[in-house]
Amino acid sequence: MDFWRFIDTSDLALLNGQYDSQFVLASWLIASMAAYCGLSLRDLIGQQREANAHIAWLGLGGLALGVGIWAMHFMGMMAFSLPAPISYDPMITSLSVVPAILGAAITLNLISIPTPSFSRMQCAAIVLSLAISLMHLFGMEAMVMPGVGMAYELEYFIASIVIAYVLALVALLTRYFATSNTTINKILSAGLMGFSIAAMHYTAMLAARFYQIDATLMNSGHAVEHDLMALVVIAMAAILIVFVVIVALQEQRLMQQSANRVQIASVLPDGLIGVDHNLQVVFSNLAAQQLFEYSAEELGQLYISQLVPSWNWGILKSSRRDDVITAVAKKRLGGEFALEAKVVPQVVNKENQMIIVMRDVTERHEREQHVRRLVAALEQAADGILISSVDSEGIFINKAMNSLVRNSRDRLEIEKFMEANPAVRGRLAELETWQGHFEIGNRDDSTTHLDVTVSPILDQNEELMEYLVVAVSYTHLRAHE
């Protein structure tokens, strides 16, 4: 197969071709649709963090853009006619799509970073223009024209590659250096890129010279039915491009939702850690990073058992959504803290994962231990102690107080202190302590005399929460004195 057909055609009987303007317009539209699809997928490719997902979307983008370029070429060929029948070799026609797909994939990979440099954009434009040119050459070699030969004019041939490069670069620069990332900008860039693909094809067609070899053979071939082939090419390209765009839009929507969740999670006060089926950390928010004193990148290299040694897959999986599990966690520099967590199972890309919502409860545990020690001390105190709510509901009463009032006809209540002595009500209303004597009538008609101190308990806002009552038997006190 001779690709280089640069021969002198001045002495040959040249054939003049014609173009159908409707097919020419259709070829540009197909190329623009393919370019729009490729540019849309470029945004998606750049957002992939996993290598397999990056390769998969890169391949899909290269396929859509490459097939679009290939479809544009054959739509352009449908627009062209000669005074001789034209058909196409199916094997070469099929192979001609390969350089277009590979070149499109390499181009998308080069421009998939958020802010590609100018030199990177130049490389992408060179690769794309060379891929289009190579695909065009393959496609031209697929032409079967009995009695007709083909040659190229070198000047037009080179010009077609240069035009493809310049227009592709302009399209890419328009896309990435626009003031806003809008659909209009993307459509404009896709239109320019589609124009560069079409311009390369039609300039290369100007470079082609068709000449008569044998007039008797020119009418012996069978021409391809243009309308049927055009319909097949358009259908193939349109179905692929529409499918890829729908999938890309759906994936983009899911990724945007995921990004929104990540943004929300980043400002939550509780720590969030996501782990995969191997219990390796795949996500962490700022609160979790502060808890364990690791950066997000450092956490991403660890397993949850390195952070919480007692946790394994069985423990986490058996935890129901409403269960609260506690454990001792390790900080980066060796410190430990009490951890309280809930586990939320989820499925991501058909893979079982878990989101662990956690918080440091060390201070709360210390406060609870302090309260328990205080309660134990109050329980063993020699004086009677009662903690009462504002509405006289008993919250705590120790053994000594129970012993003092066990024979009482009535319950010991703050309200009774206030009814028996108006001074109590006045002092407590001013949030001050009252101290005095109080008598309790017993069931055997005897009387218990108490020395009582009533103090208000205030919260951090100086608001009344509860009352503390400390009582000592007046009779025992006097006997002791």
Residue 289, number of CB atoms within 10 A of its CB: 19
Q: Which residue's structure tokens are 């690769």?
A: 127
- Contacts of residue 365, defined as CB under 8 A and 6 or more positions apart, other chains included, come to 338
Token digits of residue 306: 């390195």
HSE (side-chain half, CA atoms, 13 Å) at 42: 28
| Confidence category of residue 116, pLDDT binned at 50, 70, 90 | confident
Kindly give the residue spans of alpha helices, DSSP state H, lying in 48-147: 51-79, 90-95, 97-110, 118-141
Residue 284: strand pairing partners: 273
Query: Which H helix or E strand runs over 355?
Result: strand 351-360
Residue 125, number of CB atoms within 10 A of its CB: 25
C-beta of residue 358 within 8 angstroms of C-beta of residue 341: yes
| Confidence category of residue 3, pLDDT binned at 50, 70, 90 | very low
> What is the percent of the chain where pLDDT is above 90?
4
- pLDDT of residue 463 exceeding 70, the answer is yes
Region of residue 431 (left: phi > 0; alpha: psi -120 to 50; beta: else)? left
Mean pLDDT of 105-131: 85
| Confidence category of residue 188, pLDDT binned at 50, 70, 90 | confident
- pLDDT of residue 262 exceeding 70, the answer is no
What type of residue sits at position 350? K
Lowest mean pLDDT among 100-114, 381-395, 404-418: 404-418
CA 104 – CA 67 distance, rounded (Å): 9
- pLDDT at position 102: 92
Token digits of residue 314: 């069985």
Q: What is the CA radius of gyration of the chain?
A: 42
- 3-class secondary-structure state, position 436: strand
CA-CA distances (angstroms) from residue 401 to 14, 388, 451, 478?
A: 121, 13, 12, 18
C-beta of residue 313 within 8 angstroms of C-beta of residue 352: no
| Confidence category of residue 267, pLDDT binned at 50, 70, 90 | low
- pLDDT of residue 308 exceeding 60, the answer is yes
| Confidence category of residue 1, pLDDT binned at 50, 70, 90 | very low
CA 245 – CA 465 distance, rounded (Å): 63
Which of 395, 385, 403, 400 has the alpha carbon at shortest distance from 454? Answer: 385
**How high does pLDDT run on average in the chain?**
79
What's the helix, strand, coil split of the chain in %, to 5?
55, 20, 25
Q: Return the beta strands (E) in 201-334 as ranges.
A: 208-212, 271-275, 281-284, 325-330
Which of 94, 100, 177, 93 has the alpha carbon at shortest distance from 140? Answer: 93
CA 354 – CA 347 distance, rounded (Å): 8
- pLDDT at position 150: 85
| Confidence category of residue 376, pLDDT binned at 50, 70, 90 | confident
More confident residue, 306 or 436: 306
Q: Which residue's structure tokens are 């695909």?
A: 135
Most confident of the ranges 5-9, 431-435, 472-476: 431-435
Lowest mean pLDDT among 91-95, 183-187, 275-279: 183-187
Q: Which strands sit side by side in the sheet containing 394-397, from one edge to the other?
A: 394-397, 384-389, 464-473, 447-458, 434-441
CA-CA distances (angstroms) from residue 399 to 95, 149, 372?
A: 95, 115, 16
pTM of the model: 0.53
**Most distant CA atoms of the chain, gap in Å:** 143
C-beta of residue 242 within 8 angstroms of C-beta of residue 264: no
C-beta of residue 62 within 8 angstroms of C-beta of residue 104: yes
Q: What is the DSSP string of 113-128?
A: SSS--HHHHHHHHHHH
Residues 179, 184, 188, 193, Cα dihedral to 10°: 100
Residue 254, number of CB atoms within 10 A of its CB: 10
CA 260 – CA 288 distance, rounded (Å): 18
Residue 212: strand pairing partners: 148
- pLDDT of residue 420 exceeding 70, the answer is no
CA 92 – CA 137 distance, rounded (Å): 10
Angle separating helix axes 154-176 and 183-207, nearest 10 degrees: 180
C-beta of residue 359 within 8 angstroms of C-beta of residue 338: no
More confident residue, 92 or 193: 92
- Contacts of residue 181, defined as CB under 8 A and 6 or more positions apart, other chains included, come to none
Token digits of residue 322: 């409403």
- pLDDT at position 330: 92
| Confidence category of residue 136, pLDDT binned at 50, 70, 90 | confident
Most confident of the ranges 178-182, 233-237, 258-262, 445-449: 445-449
C-beta of residue 474 within 8 angstroms of C-beta of residue 451: yes
- Contacts of residue 377, defined as CB under 8 A and 6 or more positions apart, other chains included, come to none
